[in-house]
Structure 1
Amino acid sequence: MSTRAMYLNDLDRLTTEMMEYICDKLCRYPEMERDEESLAELCDGCGMGEFLCNILSHEGARTNETEKRS
């Protein structure tokens, strides 16, 4: 496995852990919604997923540029 692939795997692991913490510990909706289906709809509309994708896309592009310079 390349260094870049290992880095992206580590980044993926860290961001997954971050999202689990945010959803499980910080989000107020699980306590407010008793219905799993309603909670799933709220989660689908959560902006954190988009933020996470932006972070990963930016970091992936940055590592590509670094590899090109090497």
Structure 2
Amino acid sequence: MSHRTISVTDMACTGCEENVEDALEALDGISAVEADHEADTVEIEADDGVSDEEVAAAIEDAGYEVAG
């Protein structure tokens, strides 16, 4: 299990946070998600088998951009 912080742009409100959280919670191996539109970050707890690419793809599919 690992804790990761991801920089996400384009989140403007709590609804955006919920969209990102829902997209990530749908991935197998994600046990906790907390998005913060004011800090432009998403904190996740994920199994080591969940790749950064999978996480980024889920965020981008929800309509947001992963920074860096």
Superposition TM-score tier, normalisation by shorter sequence: 0.3 to 0.5
Structure with the higher fraction of residues in strand conformation? 2
TM-score (norm 2): 0.34
Rg (Cα) greater in structure = 1
